[in-house]
Amino acid sequence: MYTRILKYLLYVLFALVFLPRAHGQPFRVDARLDTNQIQIGDQIHLQLNLTQPGDARVEIPSWQDRLGTQLEVIKTFPPDTMGDQGDQSITITRKLLITSFDTGKVEIPPVPFFYQGRQGVDSVLTPPMDLYVQTVQVDTTRDVFGIKGPFGAPLSWAEIWPWAAGLVALGLLVWALIYLLRRRKRKDMVLEPRKTSEPAHVYALRELDRLKEDRLWQNDQVKAYYTRLSEILRTYLWMRYGIKTLERTTDEIMTSLSDTELAQQEAYDMLLGNLRFADLVKFARMQPSTTENEGALQQAYDFVHATKYVGEQEPAAKEGGDEKGDAGEEQEPNEQDNNKQEPKEGPRGNLSR
């Protein structure tokens, strides 16, 4: 209280000693409240009006978040200026949204407006006002209720955008996953030439040569001979067409190939006969004749030659290093010899499926 009185005295002293009046027209200030009686926490407007000469320079006070010790400034509105053409004066209106959380009589302190007078800086003060803040009446006769939850504040864009961005990112991630999965599935279904370190037919022909050199069936290892033969063909199909053949049965392999151009060729029937014949030997204890053993190998050679990739963009051949050595027609082992041989009758078993 003494501080406040001292502050007023200082204002008055300052005005009397250092700020002599400069203008003939008086400066008028007044302050108005929406109401002088509120309930605790209610928000009301405080309107400050300053009437001054049009050419006077006035410093309009600014507020942070408090006005005096008991009042809180919630919002400060921009100043509004209104001119009067008759006496060249203007009225500046400043509006504040205030509240108080103290109960009882709350004093709104005088607000000073400083202006430049003829003899220096002068000021004018708004009159002090009283605001009566009432507490909420509690009806003790009624039930006691729990504490009310906080009121939801309206959402701002700043709060929403991180979530929105997250949702969009998640959506994109899900889309990308679905896309990749579909692509992978499609890849599994669609036959495409597969990139390998060497062309598929080079690998197959080399392995068939090795099989021939190992002389398995001549040494009573017929089952092992047909197992390797079918493995070479299945691996060739895997490398050549990119379909999973090692994990599929003969019927499934043939079904996978039935949608390709291969199905229209004689090679398709050749392959089917060869794989089925190998199955008979592997799973039905079939003992093929010498002619059938040789015929099965020759049929495998013929199949590889008939279906090898001859396009310009043979990816494996380009990656294979020495193209002549790896993929050249003349360089392929046994190829010329094989081509000279008469096509033999394909393996046909007595056991049919």
Partner 1 sequence: MNQSVNVKELNEHIRNESSFVDMINMEMNKVIVGQKHLVESLLVGLLSDGHILLEGVPGLAKTLAISTLSGIVDARFNRIQFTPDLLPADLLGTMIYSQQKEQFMVKKGPIFTNFVLADEINRSPAKVQSALLEAMQERQITIGEDTFKLDQPFLVLATQNPIEQEGTYPLPEAQVDRFMLKVVIDYPQQEEEKLIVRQNLAKEFPTASQVVKPDDIIRARGIVKEVYIDEKIEQYILDIVFATRYPENYGLDHLQGMINYGGSPRASINLAIASKAYAFIKRRGYVIPEDVRAVCHDVLRHRIGLSYEAEAENMTGEDIITEILNTIEVP
Q: How far is the CB of 350 from partner 1 (least distance, A)?
A: 6
Is residue 14 within 8 Å of residue 123, measured between CB atoms?
Answer: yes
Dist CA 188 CA 319 (whole Å): 23
Shortest Å, Cβ 252 to partner 1? 8
Question: Are the C-beta atoms of residues 205 and 303 closer than 8 Å to each other?
Answer: no
How far is Cα 193 from Cα 310, in angstroms, rounded to an integer? 11
Least Å distance, CB 223 to partner 1, is 8
Our CB check for partner 1 shows the closer of 105 and 184 to be 184
**Between 141 and 289, CB nearer to partner 1:** 289
Nearer to partner 1, 105 or 348 (CB): 348
Whichever of 197 and 287 has its CB closer to partner 1, that residue is 287
Interface positions with partner 1 (CB under 8 A): 227, 244, 246-252, 279, 282-289, 292, 349-351, 353
Min dist CB 246 to partner 1, Å, is 5
**Residue whose tokens read 């409240």:** 33
CB 224 → partner 1: shortest distance, Å? 11
Q: How far apart are CA 323 and CA 59, in angstroms?
A: 90
Among residues 211 and 222, whose Cβ is nearest to partner 1?
222
The Cα 248–Cα 264 span in angstroms is: 21
Q: Kindly report the number of other CB atoms within 10 A of residue 231's CB atom.
A: 15
Q: Could you give the residue ranges of the DSSP H alpha helices within the chain?
A: 2-17, 157-189, 200-214, 222-241, 250-257, 266-283, 290-307, 315-319, 323-327, 335-340
